[in-house]
Structure 1
Amino acid sequence: MCFLLYLYIRPGLTVHTALRYVFIAHVKVDSSIVNCPQKMACYFNLISLVMLLCSILPRFSTDEASHINSRSVRELLISSYQDAASLHTRKRQRSPSSSTHVFTFLRQPDPETLEISRAAEVFQTTLQVLKNSVRQRYKRDVTATELLSWEDVELIAELSQCPPPTHPAICLQSHLNKYRSISGICNNRQNPLWGAANTPLVRWLPAEYEDGEREPKGWNRGRLHNGFQLPSPWEVSKKILRSSVKRPDDVYSHMLVDWGQYIDHDITFTLQSKGSAEVDCFNTCQNVHPCFPIETGDAITGAQGCMPFHRSRPACIVNFGSSIRQALQLQQINAITSFIDASLVYGNTPRRAGFLRDLSGLNGKLAVNDQFRDPKGRPYLPFVASLPSACNQNPHGERVDCFNAGDTRCNEDLPLIVLHTVWLREHNRIAEALKRINGHWNSETIYQETRKIIGALHQIITMRDYVPKIIGQEAFEHYIGPYGGYDPTTDPSAANVFATAAFRFGHATISPILSRLNESFQKHEHFPHLRLDDTFFSPWRIVKQGGIEPTLRGSIGTAASAVSANMLMTEELTERLLLLNVSQHMDLASLNLQRGRDHALPGYNDWRSFCGLKRIKTLDGFKEVVRDNRVAEKIAQLYKHLDNIDVWLGGLVENMLPGSRTGPLFACLIGKQMKALRDGDRFWWEAEGIFSQQQKAELIKGSLSRIICDNSDIREVPPDSFRFGNYPYDYISCDQMPSIHLEAWREEKSQDLEQCGTPRKIKNGDFILSSAYGKLVALYSCYHGFKLKGAAAIVCEGCRWSDPPPQCKGNHH
């Protein structure tokens, strides 16, 4: 073995390649590795063996003690990886602490996401171990960029089990042309990972880590920024953001707030790291990765403390064509597709999509709850697979577990549960209608066509009815403008600043009280209003307290909370925010500020420059932008330098643009993101070839109010569910709301299909019909957990199908 490595490491041959050769040579003579169920563990053991044997070899460099050469770095690289992998193995074996287990479970991402983020953590830990080893050996600090070549970076990525680069050739599969993939991959054929799940949030401006690589702003206590220390997020929250009162907004309903949270869950999902084997983030006030606690203090006693904070999970490198410095910087993962594609209804992985479907019904529908229905027999979301679940329970009633949906956050509050339920019902309503209209459609076609319609409705409601109200019509026309067709040069991936700052503007619009209204849109006599913290993770309140209607009426029949610079965040969020099984009250404002620093977002002024807005250089200039002199003075006093202001805070206190709910900075950042999501989406509802002109004319009739009419017991609605109106004067009957006529989706059997007949159904899989080079093609695929054996595509030729249908083999888990 050692001889092999000695033989292979020679001029012109990299360690990366040498290790491959040694691995291959060893595998040929050791069948135990060939048959090993965990190939990576065997690879790891092999590398350990190689390094042990080779430790007795003569040094390759005589002056290694004084110079860092490539061979010694690679030796350290391998051993650093071993240490990192060992550390993360111990971390995985450690059972989660009781304080974190419940909340983590309720935001648990899919297994595919966990594997990729774990690989990225091993990658990052390897870099840190390597730098520490070099520091110890050579008595000086170096950056990873100075040490490593691209080949070294690729080796670490491969050892860490980060997914290999995705080649555009995989996008040539024809079934990816008719419907969007569940993971978002291959939406852009030349850049398959743009907008896909489990890829990094993109950077519109470079990250500003204190060490240039991964240490967040505020990590090194005492570090000066523009000559001053950054204020504690807790101090900023206490002195600037907390408010005991919220005024009502007489223009918009609370549905504007609820939809903002809902559609955010269709675009971004940033995961939090767990504590490690060595440190529990709930029991430390030290900055030790992955813990970045928020310093707090008691104004009366002067006692110092901290609020727990877990750093965001990293992402694997996806672009090996960028600079090494950029590739080695810590980037945060977006666990879901960036596209507005209703992924929170359908999921982001084949595994979750399969769990959510009613595959036994052969009807293209989604699975529903088999235990509970509402008083009119309408379905609820199905329960999660692992029971009993961690959701809160009625202490005096029948158990109601957590609901399951395309996004694991669906149980976070009652309005989210309600909107998820409405869209589940809408999918099944449309699927049933399409089955009646097109009796020859199989279940896969019904499911995909319905999913396509639901995705289009999410896009229409968001872009036509929601975004202009948020950023104002003028900013909408400036930053987004009319649709000009799909642009394959536009990257639709969610930006870090959008996910971490700009789209969190909505936290300042949350009301401390959740209203529940009766049929006359008055306070419900049986189900009173609830404090915000009584609505978290409580699906039992939907099932046992009147269904979705009381909460839904509260969303459309209650005015949203107004936002002003001196009344930003309700105390329910800054002083009484509770996470399940976390004994300490949390502060959402502090968490948002710390998250921005965790992600190393540049400051408020840098983002103003990015948007072409004037940098704020003086207190008077800041007062002009904020329009509240007292708030501007307090912020300037706390931060001491205007360039240090956190972007989330700066954007939040800006005076709102006319007809909007954001200031100029957030209007710009949200507008740019929405334009990218629209123009960079090959399957956008208005894009050429996605829907027929007749279908588009029907889709534009769709509205949230109509969907509420079709899927609840509510019979009177405002024409626009986002606008607040007085009942009954500003409401209309559901009979007056325009409907989508699904006849536009009627499809006659083609002559080819008549001649060749319907392709045969297969067990554990299905097909969709498409056309290629003027011929009818049946494209088969297997359900999650099964593999296709045989021809994936069969062609209708000469009145018969070219091949027998394939089979789906394997064990379904």
Structure 2
Amino acid sequence: MKGVLCLIAAGLYLCLQIHVDAESRLSRSVIERAVFEAKAQVDSAYEYSRRESIERVKRNSASPADVLRLMKQPAGATRTAVRAADYMDNALTLIKRSLGSRQKRSINATDLISEEDLRIIADLTGCNARHRLPSCRTTPNLDKFRTASSVCNNRKNPLFGSSNTPLTRWLPAEYQDKISLPKGWDPRRRVNRRFLPLVREVSNRILHTTVVDTDPLFTHLLTIFAQWTDHDLSFTPHSPVIRSFSSGIDCDKSCDRTEPCFPVEIPRQDPRFGRNSEECIPFFRSAPTCGSGNTGHLFGAATVRQQMNTLTAFIDAGQVYGSDEAKARLLRDLSSDKGLLRVNTEFTDNGRELLPFEMKSTNMCATRARITRNNNAQEVPCFLGGDERTNENIALTSLHTLGLREHNRLARGLAKLNPHWDGERIYQEARKIMGAYFQILTYRDFLPRIIGPDAVNKFLPAYTGFDEKVDPGVSNVFATAAFRFGHLMIQPFIFRLDEKYTAHEKYPTTLLHRSLFTPWRVVFEGGLDPIVRGLVGRRAKLNTQRHMLTDELRERLFKFTADLALDLGALNMQRSRDHGLPGYSKWREFCNLSVPRNRRQLRTVLQNKTMADSLMDLYRTTKNIDVWLGAASEPLVRGGRVGPLFACLIATQFQKIRRGDRLWWENKGVFTDAQREALKKTSFARIICDNTGITELPKQPFENTPVSKLTKCSNIPVVDLWPWKENIK
């Protein structure tokens, strides 16, 4: 059998004769040539995107879409993994097109390419290396300390919960072509016999509000802690390119849908339509993983496109320490043998430590001149933290800074108790304590206030031990929809308060969009104390069915210039379609909740006729309602801040994380009995007291507390490090 394979790379057209035997084997030379040309395509797109990004940032002309893409860039080991996946995906796409054209039908590449050939392609593109199982026998101290990537947490399944592995699927993906194309990729194709509404139209009709309902019980810290926790668990990178692999189209300059461009179309009746000649908001697909799509069976995975989680699935303070060995070492102060993390060498916060600066050719945090309209304003680089989103907003930056300071405080305390410990031991012990801190804070203080007592009792009763059969991997629906509930609890302001918990005269409260990527506000505008007081002294936004998403996130996200800003609600729904998530009804069924099948039943579930009617007018069927929106529209559970579906999905994920973590703080042998008793005294209030100049605050910082009932730091229990003293015999 003969065929013609035509490849396009760097403007050159190349057609090869393909010899395929009865078993669909390709010659080695043809495979090597195809991979070579695919790599040329990808490398060309990567280089174009790199140059464009550098130039835009240097000109201070980065658009909101640029900011989102740069924030979602894979780095280090993740970038290598993403590039390998792009190589393989594009090599197979080229071969698939040629073979399909020869047979005059649309095909799955694996229909005509043998498994042996697929393995060769995986080897040549580097995809196989991504999935080789590590050896857990040669890694030191596995019983005492986590690896940075959490490889070998589970000895029998070393990749369970580790970084740079695919997000797990609790329900099968629903792609337009059953393999990889997003739902709604072709807007003329029906889904469940109905056309999908534009996500921006849904946002306009359902999410828009100019009113903010304040939470009667909880502080804004609860909201930011949700974001902090999310950044410990999941990060799904984009492909680093801004140009189509196949056509060379710049995704920022076109509304065409061509991999990896999946733009958000702006409806004609939208006030944005036609502004600056724009008819869409740029949107980039999440990068595929090696071991997904057409090649999934090579790695024991499904043959549909999967997305990557670059972080570990465990509560391990990865947003402080990083989730791979290279990043972890970058964050450490290796100039001494004291087990410390690196700190800023140019600035301090009234003598207290600040995060170090990133050393990059692009500085997306050079926003001061634009925001203050002072061309002479001194800019500073972005802060460097364990997660790429450290600078997303100054409230989140503050929590990252608290994490840095607390590690170094613990390291110094442990060194005094154990002067014979070297820096490695001090670092690992302090990191282990930090992981335990946030496990306790998350499960004891945070989750009950989010999912409510009923879900806690059902899914998260008393700890029963490690189960090596449980895969703790972060699920696609959790990362892409359920744990984005916090977007509906974000205030349109970052509050800054003085010592009396009143509006700060010198450093006033700022609008949220003017606090994004602004580390200079921490450096030059009073440091952490005013921001942290604002988090514990002001209320969270309450998600209600009438007032869902503030326009700071819907109309002004990443708006530093005149360019069209992003719409976070629309992005959430577009991301769900990009990842092929099933619709609202199927997830209700997954959670054993009643499944609304018509308008009347949806009214009953939502307890809101107007909301149900609006959703049905847009989607026409409950099967197509985007899961994030459907779950966000539900009334809140008793004692919680999410509806029944989100409560189920969030609780299920955290149940798996705890049961599948061999190094969970309560698991026998991880800590001594005395150490566990000491750890139980941890509190976020104590962390604030020990690492800021704040002397009075709520004893329970997630709960609204009148100023007259604040607690002095001297009355807040401390964690005694004495159980960590090692007796030398």
- State TM-score, norm by structure 1: 0.82
- Structure 1 position 280, deviation (Å): 1.3
Change in Cα spacing, 1:325 to 1:386, as seen in structure 2 (3 Å) is: closer
Q: Structure 2 matches for 1:647-662, cutoff 5 A?
A: 647-662=627-642
Tell me the distance in 2 between the aligned counterparts of 1:612 and 1:105: 39
Tell me the distance in 2 between the aligned counterparts of 1:171 and 1:316: 25
Tell me the distance in 1 between the aligned counterparts of 2:576 and 2:270: 29
- 1:736 and 2:703 equivalent? no
Q: CA RMSD in A?
A: 2.4
Tell me the distance in 2 between the aligned counterparts of 1:205 and 1:739: 44
* Partner residue in 1 for 2:6: none
* Partner residue in 2 for 1:587: 567
* Partner residue in 2 for 1:196: 162
Answer whether contact 1:166 1:192 (CA < 8 A) is retained.
Answer: no
- 1:571 and 2:551 equivalent? yes
Which structure 1 residue ranges, 4+ long, deviate > 6 Å from structure 2?
73-76, 318-321
Q: Name the aligned partner's letter for residue 456 of structure 1.
A: A
* Partner residue in 1 for 2:93: 128
Q: Percent identity?
A: 41
Answer whether contact 1:103 1:581 (CA < 8 A) is retained.
Answer: no
Answer whether contact 1:158 1:164 (CA < 8 A) is retained.
Answer: no
Tell me the distance in 1 between the aligned counterparts of 2:182 and 2:20: 38
Q: Name the aligned partner's letter for residue 71 of structure 1.
A: R
1:157 pairs with 110, 122, 134, which one? 122
- 1:89 and 2:43 equivalent? yes
Deviations 1:622-645 (A, max 9, x none): 111112211110001100111111
* Partner residue in 1 for 2:489: 509
Q: Name the aligned partner's letter for residue 158 of structure 1.
A: D
Tell me the distance in 2 between the aligned counterparts of 1:139 and 1:203: 33
- Structure 1 position 509, deviation (Å): 0.7
Q: Name the aligned partner's letter for residue 381 of structure 1.
A: L
Answer whether contact 1:182 1:348 (CA < 8 A) is retained.
Answer: yes
Answer whether contact 2:167 2:474 (CA < 8 A) is retained.
Answer: yes
- Structure 1 position 399, deviation (Å): 3.2
* Partner residue in 2 for 1:275: 242
Tell me the distance in 2 between the aligned counterparts of 1:322 and 1:679: 28
Change in Cα spacing, 1:551 to 1:615, as seen in structure 2 (3 Å) is: same
Q: Name the aligned partner's letter for residue 118 of structure 2.
A: V
Give the SS at the match of 1:208: coil
Tell me the distance in 1 between the aligned counterparts of 2:577 and 2:660: 29
Q: Structure 2 matches for 1:660-675, cutoff 5 A?
A: 660-675=640-655
Answer whether contact 2:71 2:389 (CA < 8 A) is retained.
Answer: yes
Tell me the distance in 2 between the aligned counterparts of 1:586 and 1:119: 30
Q: Structure 2 matches for 1:314-463, cutoff 5 A?
A: 314-317=288-291, 326-375=301-350, 377-386=351-360, 389-391=363-365, 392-393=367-368, 395=374, 396-463=376-443
Deviations 1:77-120 (A, max 9, x none): 55543332221121123223424665544444322100101111
Tell me the distance in 2 between the aligned counterparts of 1:387 and 1:527: 30
* Partner residue in 1 for 2:150: 184
Tell me the distance in 2 between the aligned counterparts of 1:537 and 1:659: 34
- Structure 1 position 164, deviation (Å): 4.9
Tell me the distance in 2 between the aligned counterparts of 1:581 and 1:149: 51
* Partner residue in 2 for 1:804: none
Q: Which has the bigger relative contact order, CA under 8 A and spacing at least 6?
A: 2
- Structure 1 position 318, deviation (Å): 8.3
Q: Name the aligned partner's letter for residue 248 of structure 1.
A: T
* Partner residue in 2 for 1:613: 593
Change in Cα spacing, 1:323 to 1:601, as seen in structure 2 (3 Å) is: farther
Answer whether contact 1:110 1:349 (CA < 8 A) is retained.
Answer: no
Tell me the distance in 2 between the aligned counterparts of 1:513 and 1:128: 46
* Partner residue in 1 for 2:76: 111
Give the SS at the match of 2:265: strand
Tell me the distance in 1 between the aligned counterparts of 2:611 and 2:492: 22
Give the SS at the match of 2:540: strand
Tell me the distance in 2 between the aligned counterparts of 1:300 and 1:311: 24
1:292 pairs with 262, 283, 302, which one? 262
Deviations 1:280-335 (A, max 9, x none): 11111111010001111242788681111000011112899958895432111111
Change in Cα spacing, 1:514 to 1:233, as seen in structure 2 (3 Å) is: same
- Structure 1 position 165, deviation (Å): 3.5
Tell me the distance in 2 between the aligned counterparts of 1:170 and 1:582: 53
Answer whether contact 1:144 1:328 (CA < 8 A) is retained.
Answer: no
* Partner residue in 2 for 1:746: 725
Report which stretch shifted further, 384-393 or 343-352: 384-393
Deviations 1:722-779 (A, max 9, x none): 11111122x11111111001011000124xxxxxxxxxxxxxxxxxxxxxxxxxxxxx
Deviations 1:216-256 (A, max 9, x none): 00001211112111000000000011111111101000000
Tell me the distance in 2 between the aligned counterparts of 1:171 and 1:594: 43
Q: Name the aligned partner's letter for residue 393 of structure 1.
A: R
2:280 pairs with 299, 303, 306, which one? 306
Give the SS at the match of 1:728: helix
Tell me how many residue pairs correspond in the alignment: 691
Change in Cα spacing, 1:75 to 1:220, as seen in structure 2 (3 Å) is: farther
Answer whether contact 2:232 2:311 (CA < 8 A) is retained.
Answer: yes
Change in Cα spacing, 1:335 to 1:60, as seen in structure 2 (3 Å) is: closer
Tell me the distance in 2 between the aligned counterparts of 1:246 and 1:457: 33
Change in Cα spacing, 1:748 to 1:60, as seen in structure 2 (3 Å) is: closer
Deviations 1:671-723 (A, max 9, x none): 01001111111111111111001000010100101100000011111111111
Change in Cα spacing, 1:231 to 1:60, as seen in structure 2 (3 Å) is: closer
Give the SS at the match of 1:249: strand
Q: Name the aligned partner's letter for residue 43 of structure 2.
A: T
Tell me the distance in 2 between the aligned counterparts of 1:149 and 1:720: 60
Q: Name the aligned partner's letter for residue 137 of structure 1.
A: R
Answer whether contact 1:479 1:675 (CA < 8 A) is retained.
Answer: yes
Q: Structure 2 matches for 1:139-154, cutoff 5 A?
A: 139-154=104-119
Answer whether contact 2:119 2:298 (CA < 8 A) is retained.
Answer: no
* Partner residue in 1 for 2:59: none
Give the SS at the match of 2:708: coil
Q: Name the aligned partner's letter for residue 266 of structure 1.
A: D
Tell me the distance in 2 between the aligned counterparts of 1:356 and 1:607: 40
Q: Report which of the two structures shows the higher radius of gyration computed on alpha carbons.
A: 1
Q: Name the aligned partner's letter for residue 468 of structure 1.
A: P
* Partner residue in 2 for 1:722: 702
